[in-house]
Amino acid sequence: MTRGGQENDNEEPERRCIVTGEVQPKPGLIRFVLGPDAMIFPDLAHKLPGRGIWVTADREVLETAVSKNAFSRAARQPVKLPEGLPDLIEAALARRVVDLVSLARKSGRAVCGFEKVKDWLAQGRAKVLLQASDGSERGKGKLWTPEGGRWFGCLTASELGLAFGRDHAIHGALATGGLTKRVIVDAAKLTGMRKQDGGATAGKDTKTV
């Protein structure tokens, strides 16, 4: 198990974090590229051209990369960084997770609301359980992580509600397939950036109840 919380089965391409020096699968890392004006750009979709600069999806690690000038060392030249880079990354990841869950809902692969989520869990339809970080712990404790699945508490009630087209939501579930794998990857990174539930880093988000 790597710091990013991903099993190293040698099937996922690996990269080295410029701060920790650890090699791990790409889903546990955030990719950056150097623009023509020496500005560092985050590449959350891993699609921008250029040599990647990789940082573990963890707020403390990213803050260290900024404060210790790790990007310039990795690029082997002076670089410019967007102001408030960790906050920008967190906000961008939150938008990605909300948008992906919204698309999954529109395709019929996501539901919200306690009873609907409970039914999906009981039927074995749920692969991912999403619960609002600011929801009641008593209420959230009545549901459980899908067997062989994942739990995330990295979104607020308003963010989770936005994904489901309502003011707020506390419980959500995603079925296997479709966009669910992408939700898992980005939600794990967002967890690392927000350090929910006592400081979980990307991927270390399993909850048992």
Query: What are 150-200's pLDDT values in tens digits?
Result: 999 999 999 999 999 999 999 999 999 999 999 999 999 999 999 754 344
Q: How far apart are the C-alpha atoms of 8 and 98, rounded to whole Å?
A: 28
Phi (first) and psi of residue 91, to 5 degrees: -65, -40
Residues of the chain with CATH 3.30.1230.10: 14-82
Query: Which of 3.40.190.10, 3.40.367.20, 3.50.50.60, 3.30.1330.30 is the CATH number of 87-199?
Result: 3.30.1330.30
Structure tokens belonging to residue 47:
């699609």
Residue 14, beta-bridge partner list: 25
Residues of the chain with CATH 3.30.1330.30: 87-199
Q: Does the structure show a pLDDT above 90 at 34?
A: yes
Banded model confidence at residue 11, pLDDT cuts 50, 70, 90: confident
Please state which CATH class domain 14-82 belongs to.
Answer: alpha beta
pLDDT tens digits, one per residue of 111-147? 999 999 999 999 999 999 999 999 999 999 999 999 9
Contact in structure between 19 and 4 (CB atoms under 8 Å): no
Contact in structure between 176 and 120 (CB atoms under 8 Å): no
